[in-house]
Amino acid sequence: SHHTCEESIKDCFGMDILRSITYQPANNGKMSEQTLSKSCEFKRKKSEDHSHVAPEMSRIITDHTTGKCYCRGKVLGKGGFAKCYELTDLSTNKVYAAKIIPHTRVSKPHQREKIDREIELHRILHHRHIVHFFHHFEDKENIYILLEYCSRRSLAHILKARKVLTEPEVRYYLRQIVSGLKYLHEQEILHRDLKLGNFFINESMDLKVGDFGLAAKLEPLENRRRTICGTPNYLSPEVLNKQGHGCESDVWALGCVMYTMLLGRPPFETTNLKETYRCIREARYLLPSSLSVSAKQLIASMLSKNPDDRPHLDDIIRHDFFSQGFTPERLSPSCCHSAPDFHLSSPAKNFFKKAAAALFGGKKEKAKYYENLNKLTKEEDEMYKLRHDLKKTSISHQPCKQVEDTKPPIAPAGKPIVLVKENKQQIRDTIRMIVRGTLGSCSSSSECLEDSTMGSVADTVARVLRGCLENMPEAESIPNENINSTFQWVTKWVDYSNKYGFGYQLSDNTVGVLFNNGTHMSLLSDKKTIHYYAELGQCSVFSTVDAPEQFISQVTILKYFAHYMEENLMDGGDLPSVTDMRKPRLYLLQWLKSDRALMMLFNDGTFQVNFYHDHTKIIICNQNEEYLLTYINEERVSTTFRLTTLLMSGCSSDLRNRMEYALNMLLQRCN
């Protein structure tokens, strides 16, 4: 039965008992089921008596400090001290979620202190994945807390309708929860009551962490509160053992949340509260075979019995569950009541319908296009079913050769290279040794790399960039150097990986798409020639007008990407473009998006990172066995340095931070 002890306690006690379960020391500190039953009955009668005499709340509520009037609407939820109502500002029609707490429920000093603490903690929080606190006031009867209104209610309501969620949805929600939770922990605030009912969903399907009734400031281990508080199914072993809450306790609850979303029930749910607590203390639960390997691994790490063994929030997002699986950029509201069909839905759907009309004028051409599109959809069906088979996913989702942070670069003879800051000539030679040690005697980096593996491309770039960062001196500004160079870089991009793949435009107007099935296709700047890569380094060339039948659908999609970027996106900087016909064509091997930047790695070792917030970019490329770094600043002005120059002169902390972030993204993709 899903109506567990937890729900029975909720029914009897409200949220009070769940949020501060402090049992009397009798019976070894445990409440017997008989005592629990009597307490429930007493609490119910008391609650009924109280509600019988409580005065009816006014429909129109006035804030006498501001003069604003609000209209009280439907009940949104109930808690231990309060009910939550829809509340509309009559002067602006803005709708809030109002937590209304009768003074009679917080008459004792410690109860009022609890509400005041919640207000003080919540009002200072400002984050896109935290329920926004707007205002609070009180009158003779009640305290009113005005919060952000989330029209799609909570994850608990969604799971009740859906029973279980798909892995892409779980990744979508978990990313947002982790983002909000990381912000809280950075503010040294513990939530202490993470559960599906406290994750609210707004009109746009964005998740907001809410309900800070149990939140507390993070204290040193010796000063932590020992109160057992939270929802029974989500309590961590250290909280049950009265060792206090820490950030690790929130991570444990997050593991319970992930398990519940994927399987429809909490990991430690039993029909007996005592047995539930025993399972929690022993970290004993089942991981069904229906879960993917990466999901099992992530859940197991978060539900480690020892708090020190649990991952940090950044480690969670870097886990294979996220890096090797598809995460939608946006969920449809239909996901609140029915399972999504990601490969048939798309945020750019309307655009591509219009693009079809623009590209194909006649009815016959449109019919042929839709016929080919249907063929592709069947292929995607197979890929969707085999999403966790790495051979069927995008190259951008395949793991590459691991780069160990602790190991120095390896010279051709297999011996570690010792980098010495004082000897500038040695540093310059070291970088060249790293390059030559990887590339051998090839005349260009791309020739050798194309015969190698994707892992060696990433490994080479990571070694060189790390070697530079570890030995670069401190400096206050960037070097006074701006050399002329000829290389290709990404001027525009669009992520449509929720259906087809990742598209980009190079500075010579070549458009490429790395498809979700692992293949790559480029439309050259003449808009007539297609380069198709089924495997690393193996290229087929054909024209757009006589493409092989099996490629027509992909060619059509490639044209869509080209048309969309041409019509809707602007170039990303001022770098001139010169195509060196002696070099093999550039095509994308891997890409990775974080909440701060986009990383792209190409077949010749060109490595580009675009930062979202200020539109700055870093591009690393190799020319004549000399590594160059180009920095495009906020004004879209570019400067190109030799890495050996940076090794000797250093650079500003701003550029260094971007280089370090770029390296971390590269290592994250390779781990």
| Annotated binding-site residue numbers for ATP | 99
| Alpha carbons 242 and 225: distance in angstroms, whole number | 8
SS (H, E, C) 425-446: HHHHHHHHHHHHHHHCCCCCHH
Binding region: 99
For residue 550, the surrounding DSSP H or E stretch is none
Which of 391, 397, 431, 393 has the alpha carbon at shortest distance from 411?
431
193 flagged as catalytic? yes
Name the active-site residue from 16, 63, 116, 193: 193
What are 219's two structure tokens? 């204290």
Q: DSSP E strands: which ranges in 397-510?
A: 490-496, 501-506
| Alpha carbons 146 and 94: distance in angstroms, whole number | 11
| Alpha carbons 331 and 487: distance in angstroms, whole number | 38
For residue 389, the surrounding DSSP H or E stretch is none
Q: Which residue carries 């239909």 as its tokens?
A: 334
**CA of 571: how far to CAs of 53, 352, 504, 563, in Å?**
68, 21, 11, 14
What are 52's two structure tokens? 């019988």
CA 446 to chain centre: 33
| Alpha carbons 22 and 229: distance in angstroms, whole number | 8
Q: DSSP E strands: which ranges in 528-646?
A: 529-535, 538-543, 588-593, 597-602, 607-611, 617-623, 626-632, 638-642
Contact partners, residue 59, CB within 8 Å, separation at least 6: 71, 72
| Alpha carbons 561 and 293: distance in angstroms, whole number | 34
Positions marked catalytic: 193
